[in-house]
Structure 1
């Protein structure tokens, strides 16, 4: 990664100091990369020289760059974007979205509870009445991720899946069968989650899915089981402390996540690296191909746990709630399953199980005010929709 270039005043740019500065930058780059080959070092020096020659007084920070002329700001952004072409290739499937390639966004960035439709309230029915087809099958089928550390991941030591969302699925199975192990996990990419759900391949998807009005048009959500906040994860050695420091730099998000709209809105002058998964964002950060990851704090806590040289910084940008996704009735879904899941959520909120799960998986990294309160629609609304 090209080291940040400090601002230089126009009155102090003597040729001698300019040459000394360029030699110093080249030396720092050599140390940062652990000693690269001559061709790579030559490329780094060329890029550094280009950035200095184009705008010696510009800064990589958006706050400073915006004070300069439009030409200087564009030059600084171009120099930062060129750094993406240096070093190893991006993770497979990753795409870079440049600032000039997107229009000003008006995308929905968060899902306030008052905007989202309420879920179905639990009733007094027994599991045999709510979900007879699942009872007959003998197991619950749940779609999860296998790479979200502390949330839902495959443990390489034992080969099984673990995490907060895995525990939640087992609690749902416990209430249906009396046995938390009567659940089958199927791994899926984010983009294919809804297709698998609506095709009947799984009963439910528990995969860090934020409840939004747009998604409620295609799936039925449970009440929220976890509240999260958008934040940044960066290297310990960086000077980035908030989104205000992202101008002209790069930020990584998982494509298709709600973090993409947040990144476009919070960092309009930044290049966005869009990856297939959050673990790919960590790879890009470790390879110096991005300087920050913008995601939900529970996701970032798992990433930080895997790399001791990273940290979560900045204030919370927005709050979102995760819900269990199930098929809509018109897509073959069973409203009884929604009520069954919400019955489990009511139980774990009141008997202490939710806190046990949260402290086990997120306690060392995050604080919590407790389980999110349920948000149910009225029975009148339910009958009107049926």
Structure 2
């Protein structure tokens, strides 16, 4: 979908929200299944989206242990990944721009904002002493692993679930957030979860664990794949799909953009988020884990949660504990 169209959709949603009726709803503007599909949409998604067999002997939450103490900012050890990043003068981070509250482009400022963006800033701050020494490269669920493996980015912070299959391709930091897959539908639809979507079209991003979980669900819904999560929201609004299904953290952001929608059902998966890094760059993995240790213990994680994610829970949770394989 054209970026300007996405931004226009978000702005229109915000304007309509200001004109909402007393019950908090918006006018029903669904235009029907005859509307054009978002660019790159696959309806239905290829059958290959079903999850492959997972690698054996893998704990996807277990990362590399950080050093006892981090080097001072601008004092990265010579000869490794960190020294190369310092010499370049900026950290290159792959992020999303379509996940409200995690990684999105603020329509008022044009800047990338959200929980994941601020986590990436913490890494840049630890390397340079300046969180703004960072270059963002927007990636999608389908392109982010290649971006890491090809060296286009130093790391990816993009609501990315760690699993054994992905560990074969990239390394991950320790877990920094825990989500679970649920369902987003129109209010009043009568749908209460995935079991009510047998034979119905359900949208998720191509390359995500979500699209695979939809394809593998016992209810046999019809998975529809798109490039980004706002494309799923537009397809739901236009009546082209019956539901969107992905992590509850992402769905909460979509629901906030359209009060005519709601998140339903219990979580039917557990999705531990990690920062993806090239397998060859173990020094960067360990350094990032040291940064995350500080984020957990110095109050930064709690501050960021309260800034971006209070809609997910009335109580601020504790950050997920780190787990190491060595």
**TM-score normalized by the length of structure 2:** 0.82
Q: CA deviation at 1:108?
A: 5.4
Q: Decide whether the 8 Å contact of 2:155 with 2:278 is kept in 1.
A: yes
Structure 1 residue aligned with 2:177: 226
Structure 2 residue aligned with 1:155: 106
Q: Decide whether the 8 Å contact of 1:246 with 1:267 is kept in 2.
A: no
Mapped to 2, the partners of 1:174 and 1:113 lie a distance apart of 35
Mapped to 2, the partners of 1:103 and 1:146 lie a distance apart of 26
**Is the aligned partner of 1:365 residue 2:316?**
no
Q: CA deviation at 1:112?
A: 12
Q: CA deviation at 1:156?
A: 1.9
Q: CA deviation at 1:288?
A: 0.7
Q: Give the number of the structure with larger relative contact order, counting CA–CA contacts within 8 Å between residues 6 or more apart.
A: 2
Q: CA RMSD in A?
A: 2.6
**Is the aligned partner of 1:89 residue 2:2?**
no
- Alignment CA distance shift 1:102-1:361 (3 Å): same
Q: Decide whether the 8 Å contact of 1:117 with 1:216 is kept in 2.
A: no
Structure 1 residue aligned with 2:290: 343
List per-residue Cα deviations over 1:227-271 (Å, max 9, x = no partner). 100001111121001112111322111111101121122254322
**Is the aligned partner of 1:285 residue 2:236?**
yes
Unpaired runs of at least 5, structure 1: 1-30, 37-83, 379-386
Q: CA deviation at 1:146?
A: 1.4
**Is the aligned partner of 1:248 residue 2:192?**
no
The one of 105, 115, 122 aligned to 2:66: 122
**Any idea what SS the aligned residue of 2:323 has?**
coil
The one of 220, 225, 248 aligned to 1:269: 220
Q: Decide whether the 8 Å contact of 1:301 with 1:366 is kept in 2.
A: no
**Any idea what SS the aligned residue of 1:195 has?**
helix
**Any idea what SS the aligned residue of 2:286 has?**
helix
**Is the aligned partner of 1:190 residue 2:137?**
no
**Any idea what SS the aligned residue of 2:94 has?**
strand
Q: Decide whether the 8 Å contact of 1:235 with 1:309 is kept in 2.
A: yes
Q: CA deviation at 1:94?
A: 1.1
Mapped to 1, the partners of 2:57 and 2:229 lie a distance apart of 26
- Alignment CA distance shift 1:104-1:183 (3 Å): closer
Structure 2 residue aligned with 1:295: 246
Q: CA deviation at 1:106?
A: 6.3
Q: Decide whether the 8 Å contact of 1:206 with 1:323 is kept in 2.
A: yes
Alignment of 1:172-191 (within 5 A): 172-191=123-142
**Any idea what SS the aligned residue of 1:122 has?**
coil
Greater share of helix: 1
Unpaired runs of at least 5, structure 2: 1-26
Q: CA deviation at 1:364?
A: 2.1
- Alignment CA distance shift 1:154-1:196 (3 Å): same
Q: CA deviation at 1:165?
A: 0.6
**How many residues matched?**
292
**Any idea what SS the aligned residue of 1:321 has?**
strand
Q: Decide whether the 8 Å contact of 1:108 with 1:261 is kept in 2.
A: no
Structure having the higher Rg: 1
- Alignment CA distance shift 1:149-1:245 (3 Å): same
Alignment of 1:199-214 (within 5 A): 199-214=150-165
Structure 1 residue aligned with 2:260: 309
- Alignment CA distance shift 1:269-1:216 (3 Å): closer
Q: CA deviation at 1:149?
A: 1.1
Q: Decide whether the 8 Å contact of 2:61 with 2:175 is kept in 1.
A: no
- Alignment CA distance shift 1:257-1:324 (3 Å): same
Q: Decide whether the 8 Å contact of 1:105 with 1:261 is kept in 2.
A: yes
**Any idea what SS the aligned residue of 1:214 has?**
helix
- Alignment CA distance shift 1:118-1:269 (3 Å): closer
Q: CA deviation at 1:114?
A: 6.4
